[in-house]
Amino acid sequence: MGIIYFLLLSCLGLAIAAPRRNCGSAGEVENGHIDYSEGTEFGDKIVITCNPGYQFIGKQGPRGMVCGDQGWMGKLPSCKAVTCDPPPMIVDGTFSPIKETYSYGDIVQYSCQSGLTLNGSKSVSCSDDGTFQPAPPTCIMVQCKDPDVKNGEWVQGSRPPFGYKATVTFKCRSGFIMNGESTQTCEINSEWSPGLPTCETVTCEPPPMIVDGTFSPIKDTYTYGDAVLYSCQNGLTLNGSKSVSCSDDGTFQPAPPTCIMVQCAHPGIENADWVQGSRPPFGHRATATFKCRSGFIMKGESTQICEMDSQWSPGLPICE
Ligand SMILES: *[C@@H]1O[C@H](CO)[C@@H](O)[C@H](O)[C@H]1NC(C)=O
């Protein structure tokens, strides 16, 4: 209270009577820096910091001094080169180089006993505050469980035991589809990453409907191996595969058939008689057998079949 009263009085007095006292330069701080941004008059404060790689003796952090009646109050601190004590030893590991003290910027490298994995930063360095940074690593045993992917199988990669960074690639048995990533890596926490996939039964959406035809059975979804049979409306012929089935890739294979009208023209052969076969209309697989009249000889096949392209096959004969 007394001091504040005194300060108040002297401030008032100075303000009226004379310019404020100016403390001027505080001196030199070797390997450090003085911030005068507040000014150097009575009541102003300077802040002293050490250059990188240097630190105050004793208490750390920036220090301040105030301009008082009698000049700068206190004693300028000094900055000395940073040194670090050795970093901590770790269980099941060591570091190098090993020295009694280290200077600013020195780096030590940690390593683990064989079979163990370093978790954290391998190298640490002697930093500003006189300690090694970052925190030392630990040595841990990394071992991932045998990966069990139901309905899946090992394709390539490591064999047990699965240590740090071991990788395994899986595929699903046929009829199953993979949900997740096929390649997995054993991570530092002894877990597979990004996480074991699953193999799920393949399902198919219904196959496409066709013009003038249908298929059966009709369901909402089908599972791997299910087959459907296509059929055409009366009088039409199925062109393509009658049966398609739900395949590995979740679609029906092969492509669905089409329904077409097959009708061969009435076969008229000069100087020949119809002997036997189908009656008109001549649809798919209708047959007709001919014989030349006497005095004529046949060139070509006597029996013809009506094919998908509505043409007689192998081609109508002639009687010469
Ligand atoms: C590795 O170190 C980090 C940080 O210290 C720690 O959080 C983590 O649990 C450690 N991992 C294992 C698998 O020990």
Number of Cβ within a 10 Å radius of residue 189: 10
End-to-end CA distance of the chain: 143
Find out whether the beta carbon of 189 lies less than 6 Å from any atom of ligand 1: yes
The DSSP secondary-structure symbol of 140 reads E
Q: What separation in angstroms does the CA of 255 have from each of 193, 210, 247, 288?
A: 39, 11, 12, 33
Domain with CATH 2.10.70.10 in the chain: 21-81, 83-140, 152-201, 203-260, 272-319
Number of Cβ within a 10 Å radius of residue 127: 17
How many A from CA of 119 to the centre of ligand 1? 6
Find out whether the beta carbon of 118 lies less than 6 Å from any atom of ligand 1: no
Instruction: Using most ligand atoms within 8 A of CB, pick from 90, 110, 124, 138 the residue to mutate for ligand 1.
Output: 138
Half-sphere exposure in the Cβ direction for 297 (13 Å, CA): 0
Residue bearing the CA closest to ligand 1, atom 5: 120
> Whole-model pTM?
0.59
Using the predicted structure, report yes or no on whether residue 15 has a pLDDT greater than 90: no
Report the alpha-carbon distance of residue 259 to residue 237 in Å, rounded: 5
pLDDT at 162: 96
How do residues 172-193 score in pLDDT, each as one tens digit? Answer: 999 999 999 999 999 999 999 9
How many A from CA of 67 to the centre of ligand 1? 50
Report the alpha-carbon distance of residue 229 to residue 65 in Å, rounded: 96
All residues at 6 or more sequence positions from 87 whose CB lies less than 8 Å from its CB, including other chains? 95, 108, 124, 132, 136
Looking from the CA of residue 135, the nearest atom of ligand 1 is: 5
Q: Please state which of the four CATH numbers 3.40.190.10, 3.90.550.10, 2.60.120.310, 2.10.70.10 is assigned to the domain occupying 21-81.
A: 2.10.70.10
pLDDT at 176: 95
For residue 283, name the pLDDT band (cuts at 50, 70, 90). very high
CATH code: domain 83-140 is: 2.10.70.10
Average pLDDT over residues 189-199: 97
How many A from CA of 54 to the centre of ligand 1? 32
CATH code: domain 272-319 is: 2.10.70.10
Amino acid at 16: I
CATH 3.40.640.10 fits 203-260, yes or no: no
Amino acid at 70: Q
Using the predicted structure, report yes or no on whether residue 292 has a pLDDT greater than 70: yes
Token pair for 267: 């076969």
Number of Cβ within a 10 Å radius of residue 245: 16
Report the alpha-carbon distance of residue 123 to residue 244 in Å, rounded: 63
3 exposed, middle or buried (CB, 10 Å; 0-12, 13-18, 19+)? exposed
Instruction: Using most ligand atoms within 8 A of CB, pick from 90, 110, 118, 119 the residue to mutate for ligand 1.
Output: 119
CATH code: domain 152-201 is: 2.10.70.10
Report the alpha-carbon distance of residue 311 to residue 94 in Å, rounded: 89
